[in-house]
Amino acid sequence: MTELALLLIGALLVNNFVLAQFLGLCPFMGITKGYDTALATGIATTFVLALAAVSSYLLYHGILVPLGLEYLRIILFIVVIAGVVQLVKYYLHATSPVLHQLLGIYLPLITSNCAVLGVALLAVNQNLNLLQTLVFAIGAAGGFTGVMVLFGAMRETMDHDDIPVPFRGTPIALISAGLMSLAFMGFQGLAG
């Protein structure tokens, strides 16, 4: 139990995917213009990450290891993640319009995100079991969502700040992302 909690906190804060491992930077800089879109992307990412981690775990330990084809994992993970997300997207579209409207366009955008593949690969590399993989994915997604929302809210506030003209827009966003990353360094050593 403690181990799981450590794993969760580790993925959530210490090894935060965006600020410590620098994965998933494209949505981090791209879709955080406002709080709402950042939150929607975060929720969609949580969904996709959990799905991707579990399906790639099953693929790896169910098929690749018995056949001795571990070296194929990157290609096959991409195929499986893309396929599963498309299936789920279609299923949502057909059965739950509300959920589809909420996650809608973000699902396919996130599918090709490095954070998703990163979680699947890292989970396999660390030899986690199924439950641990799930916890790891949810932790990573929670960290991602948290950082997205924080940064989205921050950029919304910054839009109204009196920033020197040359720094407005992307430059100040990059600088604040760097400062946030420095701040997250403070979590190093928190959970091993």
Residue in 95, 125, 127, 170 binding other proteins, rule: CB under 8 A: 95
* Shortest distance in whole angstroms from residue 37 CB to other proteins: 6
Nearer to other proteins, 91 or 185 (CB): 91
- Shortest reach from residue 97's CB to other proteins, in Å: 6
Among residues 19, 31, 51, 147, the one that binds other proteins under rule CB under 8 A: 31
Q: C-beta of 11: minimal distance to other proteins in Å? A: 27
Q: Considering beta carbons, is residue 20 or 156 the nearer one to other proteins?
A: 156
Among 44, 49, 52, 80, binds other proteins (CB under 8 A): 80
127 binds other proteins (CB under 8 A): no
Q: Which is nearer to other proteins, 20 or 102 (CB)?
A: 102
Is residue 167 a contact point for other proteins (CB under 8 A)? Answer: no
How many whole angstroms separate alpha carbon 189 and alpha carbon 192?
A: 5
**Whether the Cβ atoms of residue 121 and residue 74 lie closer than 8 Å to each other:** yes
Site for other proteins in 35-74 (CB under 8 A): 36-37, 63, 67-69, 72
Which residues make Cβ contacts (< 8 Å) with residue 117, sequence separation at least 6? 52, 74, 77, 78, 81
DSSP for the chain, written as a single string: -HHHHHHHHIIIIIT-TTTTS--SHHHHHHS-SSHHHHHHHHHHHHHHHHHHHHHHHHHIIIIIHHHT-GGGHHHHHHHHHHHHHHHHHHHHHHH-HHHHHHHTTHHHHHHT-HHHHHHHHHHHHTT--HHHHHHHHHHHHHHHHHHHHHHHHHHHHHHTS---GGGTTHHHHHHHHHHHHHHHHTTTTS--
- What is the total count of residues that contact other proteins (CB under 8 A)? 31
For other proteins, the binding residues (CB under 8 A) are 31, 33-34, 36-37, 63, 67-69, 72, 75-76, 79-80, 83-84, 86-87, 90-91, 93-95, 97, 101, 104-106, 159-160, 162
